[in-house]
Structure 1
């Protein structure tokens, strides 16, 4: 999570200070089909409005338009014969009104936001949305901030959570709850109208005594947590508030896309395909431009100044525009191809569409009948139009630094305090093979969590049976022998955890899913943390065979490492 949001943070603090005496007006959101009743019009000819929102991925759209509101003739859009007027519209309802009236055939939002409009837009076959391009995954800009006493996502049970109605965080909340085996019925939700810089925002709600957690954007999170640490209660922070998880960790949950009206796509397929190919080409060019910002300084600065003006209303807010870009992981050409085709992609369009709609239905904001549809392009032809394609980074983590970080947490007894989720599987005495046939359900869950929480480390922790050690200790064996037994148990548990990791990687490969091996760190606890507990300084002796078997296990832990910058490889 990039923390150079100084200008936004300073402005936000001023706003929050001015609003401190205001009361919050909580709302009860209704399905958009009940609240928006606009008539459907025909898409006009000529210059089209193209919605953008205040998000880093939209910097590529600005680049495609020639760094201005109106399409420059020599821009990527202009060269493709397209003509747009960029309109920043962060209020999704206003986007929908223009979309239905025909002012624009395009919708810009997250998969969840477009799913929320599914019932409304299905009322007329002309306005059914077709998702045509993936722009980005949120990779740091969206944050769950919690108060004291909430250590893991499971601790949200019985708590009150604030978030914006009709905003980008419904998918986020739904996914976190599902992975913690919670449902909406397990928490209380307080809905607010605005996302940020308002008395009716999640950040302001967190200042109230009866709210325990809030989904916010990065500048709000920094203000609430004393610049990303733990809130002191001073300078508008909330005492004890801290970041539980951001989309730097849960980096495959909030997906930003463009959708188009079904009637416009049918009548203007070539134009829509040109629009998509230009977007992807612009993403590829911007990714290279950012990487080469030193050698292409003038072009880079021009893009960022234009983006700061269009997204943040000030050419001076370049650092903030850079921070927004850092929080958006551009999908690029290969990401679009994988997302829509689904080959080897755990978080494909089909998966996200169904998962998101199920969550929206649970919130009572859609019927769940209208599943989003996508346009499948000829990606071979598109690539010829896009040109050079940036290769995806092979490994996200520095394996050596990741292992050192986990080892330090283990020595400090801090693995559990840094976890988001954990679960365990058990094995038989003297077992050395761990096949997918034996552990399919567990392996499937690990693969799903690895894909969803690509910014977290997954520890594979082996635990051994302490019975041999306890017998030898009872027989008064020497400290040397007892030490050798402990070391042997550590070695055995480590080799088992490595065998399990290797089996998971192989299982993923068999399903055409390429897992990032650097995300997995193996740990051998030996007999240091038996399921039966510690009695004094030694393992407690199991009282039954069932207790004895519980000590032979592997624990999978999703570990938060956002603050450990050295763990991540540079882009």
Structure 2
């Protein structure tokens, strides 16, 4: 939940009016605040209505202003937390020196890069990764859209200058498209008004909308398929949420370059304190049944400061669950590990390419990050937590895929798919032959950590068709079919093993439970089905087209048993 679900109730009660679409301008044309020196004394620290910011509240002593007993105070820091979900207002405060810090997603920072780099003093330096969105954001589509590729030519709405720009550009890229392949409409607000993506999806001209999770649930009759009753849109469904695409939206803090140069110890103390706070919050949440009083105090403070209602503790819990805290390991990997495929340099470049394509930035200046000594920052941090947010229950995942295979419905829930081909009698699938395909699979696995990846083997039906033409009996024909199925499964297993081994040679540890192998045999030949039997290939090209492995990225969010907590 990027914002509170209580705001959703207001949306439910608002009749649908005409949506005021806007054409966003580059931020340097919008924000005209003069640059001033960062003020001394107690500083404003921006937070937004997002679960990861609950750790910042905890660091401030569960208070808007730093308490004497807080982690920030212990580090010699004094903050006044200012929730600011309007990014342009944050930018004005940053430029005017009300705060040296900027809080946003990587995409939001890239959209502001031209503005902030006009003056060397305000050049943003990314210093801390708060979280990945792991369920708080969703793409809701109408019933004509079944895969990401179906978005081509469709009209999509999202908030201008908001958190979903990176989300949009990345999923289009993975489907082999760009922003030129879709029609974009922009609105001013994220939620709760007639000028939000959720409100726009209720109109005929919009086919898809990037929304926060509470709005997604309302639009789709609580995450199923919209019935058209209450506040839902008939036929609307969640195509993809950040529970699946859990490494796309990255929330960070940046600091003004002049302040980092003048007060490096203060900035380092800020980062170190946030690392401690995240670790302590993760421990508190894990031990909430044993530390009920502290946990409830933490929830009430978060609800008060993020949701304007101290009693909205259930909403605060929802916010926290949707944000996968980066923690110590996640920050260290993000900023300093070349083996992290979703590291800072990769996200920064990917995000910048997206905002350039949208003409929201020139790309003249890219984002930079500070290189911390993480061994020094480790001081005071206890057991370092894992940064992985999900694992798969292998048996449940295999059962889901098996059921879909038997029902012929593997394409349902598909986000992306692509094929690789092999030669007759080929049983080895080395990375030397399939490096490009293997790299693509690894990248998708790293970005869509909540998706299952099926590795589906297919074999050529010619052997079976020759036996049938020779009038072999049903028993022999059945054995030929089963042999083909076994062979295709074996090949799929071999490909899966080679991908994991190839990743290991690059220092990348893939989650093997994310991959499920399938052997189709001759059941789904590329040449099609004629009646009840495979169609005979007519050319050598058609013959070879049947010998293939298909990689399919599948959204399985509705299959609750597939996921298991760490």
- TM-score, with structure 2 as normaliser: 0.98
- Deviation per residue, 1:405-458 (Å, 9 max, x gap): 111111111111210000000000110110111001100100110011000000
Distance 2:405 2:273 in 1: 48
Q: How does 1:540-551 map to 2 (within 5 A)?
A: 540-551=535-546
Match of 2:80 among 75, 85, 89: 85
- Deviation per residue, 1:376-420 (Å, 9 max, x gap): 100111112433311345971111111111111111111112100
Match of 1:309 among 304, 327, 330: 304
Show the counterpart of 2:13: 17
Match of 1:523 among 502, 513, 518: 518
Counting matched residue pairs gives 566
Q: Does 1:501 align with 2:501?
A: no
Show the counterpart of 1:413: 408
Shift of 1:15: 2.9
Q: Does 1:258 align with 2:253?
A: yes
Match of 2:322 among 313, 320, 327: 327
Q: Does 1:134 align with 2:113?
A: no
Match of 1:34 among 8, 26, 29: 29
* SS of structure 2 residue aligned to 1:386: coil
Match of 2:159 among 154, 164, 175: 164
* SS of structure 2 residue aligned to 1:380: helix
Distance 1:11 1:250 in 2: 25
Distance 1:45 1:347 in 2: 36
Distance 2:470 2:361 in 1: 67
Distance 1:512 1:503 in 2: 14
* SS of structure 1 residue aligned to 2:271: helix
Q: How does 1:258-297 map to 2 (within 5 A)?
A: 258-297=253-292
Q: Does 1:437 align with 2:432?
A: yes
Shift of 1:84: 0.3
Shift of 1:16: 3.7
Distance 1:385 1:350 in 2: 28
CA contact (8 A) 2:14 2:194 kept: no
Q: Does 1:52 align with 2:64?
A: no
Distance 2:395 2:388 in 1: 17
Show the counterpart of 1:338: 333
Match of 2:210 among 209, 215, 223: 215
Distance 2:54 2:556 in 1: 28
Match of 2:457 among 458, 462, 467: 462
* SS of structure 2 residue aligned to 1:136: strand
CA contact (8 A) 2:390 2:450 kept: no
- Deviation per residue, 1:162-212 (Å, 9 max, x gap): 000000001000001100111111110010000000110000000110100
Distance 1:392 1:200 in 2: 36
Shift of 1:511: 1.1
CA contact (8 A) 1:47 1:84 kept: yes
Shift of 1:216: 0.3
- TM-score, with structure 1 as normaliser: 0.97
Query: CA-atom RMSD, angstroms?
Result: 1.3
CA contact (8 A) 1:346 1:448 kept: yes
Shift of 1:9: 4.5
Match of 2:186 among 176, 181, 191: 191
* SS of structure 2 residue aligned to 1:18: coil
Distance 1:458 1:372 in 2: 32
* SS of structure 1 residue aligned to 2:564: coil
Show the counterpart of 1:534: 529
In structure 1, the gaps of 5 or more residues are none
Show the counterpart of 2:378: 383
Shift of 1:516: 0.8
Shift of 1:24: 1.1
The 4+ residue runs of structure 1 with deviation greater than 4 A are 8-11, 392-395
Match of 1:227 among 222, 235, 246: 222
Show the counterpart of 1:570: 565
* SS of structure 2 residue aligned to 1:251: coil
Q: Does 1:249 align with 2:244?
A: yes
CA contact (8 A) 2:57 2:302 kept: yes
Shift of 1:19: 3.6
CA contact (8 A) 1:395 1:516 kept: no
* SS of structure 1 residue aligned to 2:22: coil
CA contact (8 A) 2:220 2:238 kept: yes
Distance 1:215 1:148 in 2: 15
CA contact (8 A) 1:353 1:372 kept: yes
Distance 1:195 1:14 in 2: 13
Shift of 1:116: 0.5
Match of 2:421 among 407, 423, 426: 426
- Deviation per residue, 1:505-564 (Å, 9 max, x gap): 111111111111111111111111111111111111100110000000000000110111
In structure 2, the gaps of 5 or more residues are none
Cα 1:310–1:44 shift into 2, 3 Å:
same
CA contact (8 A) 1:134 1:331 kept: yes
Distance 1:391 1:201 in 2: 36
